[in-house]
Amino acid sequence: MSTARDKIREKLFPVEVTDVQHYTDRLFTLRTTRPGTFRFEAGEFTMLGLDTGQEVIQRAYSMTNATYDEELSFLSIKVQDGAFTSRLQYVEAGQELLVGKKPTGTLTIDAVAPGRNLYLFSTGTGIAPFMSLIQEPEIYNRYERIVLNHTCRLQAELVYDQYLRAGIHEHPLVGEEAAAQLLYYPTVTREDYYRTGRVTGHLEDGSLWGELGLDKLDPEQDRAMVCGGPDMLETLVDELKSRGFDPGDRGEAGGYAIEKAFVG
């Protein structure tokens, strides 16, 4: 007789953890094998599951890898009393994880119309879907510049900093395009850094585009995607709407698209 646990497992692929890297007491990355039939669009998320033997616990996770990579990768928070990540943070290479068979999401390339500059606004683990998007060759055809903003409380939480400054320029498929078109804009809010404060302040005073040598943000030409905590999402959406941006969704391209990086 099949149990509730078996039924949940039917919707998930078993994968094997191949690598785990810890960055801070709150953040780590994971790599896993990729099932041959697992397909997704850049920017999507799926369920990541852990089978405790008694039950399967699962949570939504964005893939950070490119759609064409051989392995899957994820960026994860560690919530000490969280049912999922209090366990997930202890996984090691060789262990089994489960991956949802039906990835979905609203931060896909077709959710926003082509345009001049694409602004990707993220806080914390909200950068995850954008790591996949910026490895998609198509994004560099659709926009002149891609501005990737990552706002974190602490500098150590800018986990892709080195990759975004240099590593991606060596990427065999999009390295040249990224070097010419991708502009990284980190900011740190709770300690000293060369750029501090919430991105909203940098939007208000125009330093976001000013520092990057771009023309002023323009809803007619520019597009945006937002991924972060509930509070940040609300603030950014209000800000974009007040500047004349219209929402888009997959299937109906608009001026901006959003996804919750976690439920508050």
Ligand X SMILES: Cc1cc2nc3c(=O)[nH]c(=O)nc-3n(C[C@H](O)[C@H](O)[C@H](O)COP(=O)(O)OP(=O)(O)OC[C@H]3O[C@@H](n4cnc5c(N)ncnc54)[C@H](O)[C@@H]3O)c2cc1C
Ligand Y SMILES: NC(=O)c1ccc[n+]([C@@H]2O[C@H](COP(=O)([O-])OP(=O)(O)OC[C@H]3O[C@@H](n4cnc5c(N)ncnc54)[C@H](OP(=O)(O)O)[C@@H]3O)[C@@H](O)[C@H]2O)c1
Task: State which residue, 74 or 184, has the beta carbon closest to ligand X.
Answer: 74
Task: State which residue, 67 or 200, has the beta carbon closest to ligand Y.
Answer: 200
Residues between 139 and 198 that touch ligand Y (CB under 6 A): 151-153, 189-190, 198
Q: Tell the burial category of 116 from Cβ atoms under 10 Å away from its Cβ (0-12, 13-18, 19+).
A: middle
Q: Nearest CA to 40 among 97, 111, 104?
A: 104
Which one of ligand X, ligand Y, none interacts with residue 259, CB within 5 to 8 A by kind? ligand X
Query: Please, are residues 194 and 220 in contact by the beta-carbon 8 Å criterion?
Result: no
Question: What is the C-alpha separation between 253 and 108, in angstroms, rounded?
Answer: 10
Which one of ligand Y, ligand X, none interacts with residue 84, CB within 5 to 8 A by kind? ligand X
Show the binding pattern over residues 39-58: x = contacts ligand X (CB under 6 A), - = does not.
------x-------------
**How many residues of this chain interact with ligand X, rule: CB under 6 A?**
24
Q: How far is the CB of 47 from ligand X (least distance, A)?
A: 8
Residue nearest to ligand X (CB): 82
Does position 59 interact with ligand X (CB under 6 A)? The reply is yes
Task: State which residue, 77 or 154, has the beta carbon closest to ligand X.
Answer: 77
DSSP 254: B
Does position 11 interact with ligand Y (CB under 6 A)? The reply is no
Show the binding pattern over residues 104-143: x = contacts ligand X (CB under 6 A), - = does not.
--------------------xx--x---------------
Does position 82 interact with ligand Y (CB under 6 A)? The reply is no
Residue 136, φ and ψ in degrees, nearest 5: -95, 115
Q: Where are the alpha helices (DSSP H) in the chain?
A: 4-10, 85-88, 128-133, 137-142, 161-165, 175-181, 199-204, 207-211, 230-242
Q: Tell the burial category of 251 from Cβ atoms under 10 Å away from its Cβ (0-12, 13-18, 19+).
A: exposed
Exposure string of 61-85, with b = 16+ CB inside 10 Å and e = fewer, is bbbbbbeeeeebbbbbbbeeeeebb
Residues between 89 and 118 that touch ligand Y (CB under 6 A): none
Q: Applying CB under 6 A, which residues contact ligand X?
A: 45, 59-62, 74-77, 79, 82-86, 124-125, 128, 259-264
